Amino acid sequence: MDSLDFGTLFAALRGIPLDHQDRLQLRAWLATVDDAADAVTNCIALIEQAAIGKCCPRCGGARSHRCGHASGLQRWRCLACGRSFNALSGTRLAHLRKKEHWLDYLQCLLDSRTVRASADAVQVHRTTSFRWRHRMVGGFVHERAAHLAGLVEADETYLLESQKGSRQLTRPPRRRGGVASHRGIGRDHDCLLIACERDGAALDFHCGRGPVTGAALDQCLGPVLAPGTLLISDGAAAYRGFARRHGVGHEAINLRAGERARGAIHLNHVNGWHSRFKRWLVRFHGVASRYLVHYSGWRRVLETASLAAPPRLLAAAVKAD
């Protein structure tokens, strides 16, 4: 609405006698307008704050100058390549609208609400809710510890491959959702590897389909285990080989022989992580394999106390990529 329309409307409104009920209604409406405006301002301030010092997302140039505003965000023009960008350019949150709802939506993610419940809570459409979930989660799951140290438990858990939401299945559909084509762990299971410190960080890794291999352990655990780490695993040969190749101290728990623990040597933390993850997944009624990385990352963030606030998650999502 331009100012002329508003002026006319406001003059008309001023000519109308307002009774108590009318005034209450107007006040309530103005309060929601104020809240929405405050929410946008708050969200934009957090985004700009998180992006201080950002380089050009196209060429990496560090020098840029101010060049107006768009969608409430400062625009910058890169001195090297001449392209313009803002704090969200190159992040998964670029081009998403309705910033007045973002922080509330991030709180829905912290509350592990479903797509539909989140849509109802922040009053957006369900397709918007689905898009926001995966963009936001995809943004903040990169927030992860660089290294694990001390006693580190590592173990895999397997989830039946799922093509939920795919228009075309690459295999015959399963009856009643969930039985593998063969007994045991095979090519129709996604392998999720979790490694966790005793009272600290946990890291999630996706190791493709089927039992974990030595090559996958090299790739996932190789770069993150700090010197002096003692790795604890089950008796799978892949872990023994990994530890030998990387010169990492290693203790195996022989689960097959019924062994549970030898003093401080056990897998209780990592197995607790697995069971919390699987219990938590139940509310989503199955997750597509292609999104598994989002769900394990989302779960990991939920277990990280330092990230458990919407502004912190927003900052993480803006800094990522």
Nearer to Zn ion, 63 or 290 (CB): 63
Please identify which residue in the block is written with the tokens 């190791």. Answer: 207
Beta-carbon contacts of residue 301 (< 8 Å; ≥ 6 apart): 140, 141, 143, 307, 313
Indicate whether 56 belongs to the interface with Zn ion (CB under 5 A).
Answer: yes
Q: CA dihedral in degrees (194, 195, 201, 205; nearest 10)?
A: -50
CA distance 29 to 21: 12
* Out of 61, 186, 241, 311, the residue judged to bind Zn ion by CB under 5 A: 61
Nearer to Zn ion, 76 or 291 (CB): 76
Indicate whether 78 belongs to the interface with Zn ion (CB under 5 A).
Answer: yes
Cβ at position 80, least distance to Zn ion in Å: 5
Nearer to Zn ion, 36 or 80 (CB): 80
Cβ proximity of 229 and 150 under 8 Å: yes
Beta-carbon contacts of residue 14 (< 8 Å; ≥ 6 apart): none
Considering only the stretches 9-17, 74-82, 130-138, 285-293, report the one whose residues sit in contact with Zn ion under the rule CB under 5 A. Answer: 74-82
Q: How far is CA 10 from CA 3, 6, 15, 49, 143, in A?
A: 10, 6, 9, 37, 49
Considering only the stretches 71-79, 140-148, 211-219, 293-301, report the one whose residues sit in contact with Zn ion under the rule CB under 5 A. Answer: 71-79
* Out of 80, 110, 288, 307, the residue judged to bind Zn ion by CB under 5 A: 80
Give the number of residues in contact with Zn ion, rule: CB under 5 A: 7
Considering only the stretches 19-27, 59-67, 150-158, 204-212, report the one whose residues sit in contact with Zn ion under the rule CB under 5 A. Answer: 59-67
Nearer to Zn ion, 75 or 144 (CB): 75
CA distance 294 to 140: 9
Indicate whether 59 belongs to the interface with Zn ion (CB under 5 A).
Answer: yes
* Helix 126-140 and helix 292-302, axial crossing angle in degrees, nearest 10: 70
Considering only the stretches 51-59, 96-104, 114-122, 189-197, report the one whose residues sit in contact with Zn ion under the rule CB under 5 A. Answer: 51-59
Residues that bind Zn ion (CB under 5 A): 56, 58-59, 61, 78, 80-81
